[in-house]
């Protein structure tokens, strides 16, 4: 008599209904955050060539985009500013009339509590040298001098109306500095999202087009070495000890192992940023006809959720939220 398999694992894969019922992980719009680029001194949305479908928006159009995001039911937006003038110390980041702080105010009014308004807290978009902090006399990034500016940026963004500040500069002590500054002015209500495990990655290339980065050189002295996993966990623990409300791993796809380890070690929510290069690879490959675009997007996002991310920053946030609302499968 022929011996048949005792375990028939395929039984639970037989129909779409069965697969939905036994799926271990899924997505919902509330877990998605949309990064948005707001550019000074433009009057119409401008496409970003390296990121098909992603735009730089004039501040006058921002409320309309926020309305679309809120209607889609996503969890939030993350704002980045693109100024016309930059200087050595990133003055535009602390200026209440700077493009990012004005954008926060517009977005907060438009959102009216329906989604979270988040803001990138860093200097790279505002410095003429493109680094995430101010430079010392020898040309290195001055960690502690940068913290003093970060503290002022935190207060400016809180006063503009941000719900969550995304601390992305990778300076040691940035969470503690920003938390202390906010508490000192009575803004303990503002949450801090620490970009804890932020790697020195080639996958940021298209983003630098989006913010029109002026960087020369690299950021390897303050962003993490891609060869290191434990260091990412150590960074997250340090940020939690300093008062981070949420920690994040960036990029997402190439660092799912780090993401899973941070999730295991963290008592606060853990997010992930599906960065510009991850987005661009799928879009360009799909345009070339070599992959199924929608399935690739869904698979990538489910992989990030499977690794433990409780929310995902993704440029597909509104589109995927529509798919989920329509009951479409992501894989």
With beta carbons less than 8 A apart as the criterion, state whether 218 and 170 touch: no
Task: Tell which residue, 63, 108, 101, 107, has the closest CA to residue 83.
Answer: 101
Assess whether 39 carries a catalytic annotation: no
Catalytic: which of 39, 86, 250, 305?
A: 250
Residue 133 CA to residue 182 CA, distance in Å, equals 19
- Cα four-point dihedral sign 46, 283, 270, 247: negative
The residues near 257 (Cβ < 8 Å, ≥ 6 apart) are 229, 307
Backbone angles phi, psi at 183, to 5 degrees: -65, -35
The residue behind tokens 């804890």 is 196
Q: Which two tokens stand for residue 31?
A: 């877990």
Task: Tell which residue, 132, 259, 117, has the closest CA to residue 191.
Answer: 117
Instruction: Please give the DSSP secondary-structure letter assigned to residue 75.
Output: S
Task: Tell which residue, 123, 124, 110, has the closest CA to residue 71.
Answer: 110
Catalytic: which of 31, 179, 198, 219?
A: 198
Residue 83 CA to residue 63 CA, distance in Å, equals 19
> Alpha helix (H) ranges present in 44-192?
59-72, 91-94, 99-111, 143-160, 174-184
Instruction: Please give the DSSP secondary-structure letter assigned to residue 10.
Output: G
Determine how β-strand 246-250 pairs with β-strand 191-198. Answer: parallel
Task: Tell which residue, 34, 13, 15, 32, has the closest CA to residue 24.
Answer: 13
Q: Which residues are catalytic?
A: 198, 250
């Amino acid at each position: 008599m022929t011996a048949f398999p005792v375990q028939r694992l395929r039984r639970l894969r037989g129909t779409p209904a069965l697969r939905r019922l036994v799926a271990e992980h899924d997505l919902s719009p509330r877990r998605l955050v949309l990064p948005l680029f707001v550019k000074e001194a433009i009057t119409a949305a401008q496409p970003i060539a390296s990121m098909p479908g992603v735009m730089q928006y004039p501040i006058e159009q921002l409320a309309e985009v926020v309305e679309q995001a809120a209607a889609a039911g996503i969890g939030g937006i993350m704002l980045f500013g693109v100024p016309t003038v930059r200087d050595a110390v990133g003055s535009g980041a602390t200026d209440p009339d700077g493009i990012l702080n004005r954008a926060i105010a517009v977005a907060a009014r438009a959102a009216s509590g329906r989604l979270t308004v988040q803001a990138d807290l860093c200097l790279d978009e505002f410095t003429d040298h493109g680094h995430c902090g101010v430079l010392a006399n020898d040309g290195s990034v001055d960690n502690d001098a940068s913290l003093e500016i970060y503290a002022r940026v935190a207060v400016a963004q809180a006063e503009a109306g941000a719900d969550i500040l995304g601390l992305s500069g990778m300076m040691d002590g940035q969470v503690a500095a920003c938390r202390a500054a906010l508490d000192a002015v009575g803004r303990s209500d503002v949450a801090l999202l620490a970009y804890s495990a932020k790697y020195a990655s080639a996958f940021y290339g298209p983003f630098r087009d989006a913010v029109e980065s002026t960087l020369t050189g690299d950021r390897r002295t303050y962003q993490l070495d891609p060869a290191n996993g434990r260091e990412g966990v150590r960074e997250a623990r340090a940020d939690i000890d300093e008062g981070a409300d949420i920690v994040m791993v960036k990029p997402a796809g190439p660092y799912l192992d780090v993401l899973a380890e941070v999730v295991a070690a963290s008592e606060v929510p853990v997010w992930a940023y599906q960065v510009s290069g991850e987005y661009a690879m799928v879009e360009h490959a799909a345009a070339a006809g070599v992959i199924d675009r929608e399935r690739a997007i869904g698979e990538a996002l489910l992989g990030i959720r499977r690794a433990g991310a409780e929310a995902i920053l993704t440029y597909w946030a509104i589109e995927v939220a529509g798919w989920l609302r329509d009951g479409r499968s992501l894989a």
